[in-house]
A and B are shown apart, each in its own frame.
Chain A
Amino acid sequence: DAKTTQPPSMDCAEGRAANLPCNHSTISGNEYVYWYRQIHSQGPQYIIHGLKNNETNEMASLIITEDRKSSTLILPHATLRDTAVYYCIVRVNFGNEKLTFGTGTRLTIIP
């Protein structure tokens, strides 16, 4: 699986949009971008994933650049409950099913 690079920490004001970047410059054509988050002392929670098109669900939006070398996870209206470590992971969607977690971004929502 390709490696990802994320900033170690970010702050965001409550109610504002949180934009979390991820670089994955060595991503292969068949690798998807996945985002998970982990709230303190809990198991990771799936957020969203995509291949090359932008994706949106009830939790977040995922913007993938045209060259697929980077992406941004957007939490449109951050709440205090969004404080967590966010992991960007790239992997193929079949065959090797492992999720390789990097160090992630610790997002703190400020009241």
Chain B
Amino acid sequence: GAVVSQHPSWVICKSGTSVKIECRSLDFQATTMFWYRQFPKQSLMLMATSNEGSKATYEQGVEKDKFLINHASLTLSTLTVTSAHPEDSSFYICSARDTGTRTKEEQFFGPGTRLTVL
């Protein structure tokens, strides 16, 4: 199957700082990537849909000015958590859709990034 990577795999930062998380599709092009957040013992919640070359579409209740998404190329999307606070501590997961749809599952998930804000 296709591979999606995330960097970093974990990060600890101080409250008030910004953190950037990268999501890369390694062996396929992805015009669409998705960003999810998962709190402990809870399910994945979709935060936003990232489209290459255009603005991201945010889910209801997700602050677009706090969670900045950039999808500048067909293999890279970034999520920047601005002015992070302890309540932003979570497991952030991206997924990418294979533009060529050569596989049935369509979306491939990254391994996740665990963010801890002190």
A contact residues vs B (CB 8 Å cutoff): 34, 38, 41-46, 49, 87, 93, 97-104
| Residues of B close to A43: CB separation below 8 A | 4, 6, 93, 95, 109-112
Q: For chains A and B in complex, what number of residue pairs have CB atoms within 8 angstroms?
A: 48
B114 CB within 8 Å of chain A: yes
Secondary structure dominating the interface of B:
strand
| Contact, CB under 8 Å: B107 / A99 | yes
**Cβ A46 vs Cβ B1 within 8 A:** yes
Interface size on B, residues (CB 8 A): 25
* Residues A101 and B105 in contact in the complex (CB < 8 Å), given A43-B110, A46-B1: no
- Inter-subunit contact A46/B105 (CB<8 Å): yes
Q: Is the CB of B108 within 8 A of A46?
A: yes
B interface vs A, CB < 8 Å? 1, 4, 6, 32, 34, 36, 43-46, 49, 91, 93, 95, 97, 104-112, 114
CA distance A102 to B105 in the complex (A): 18
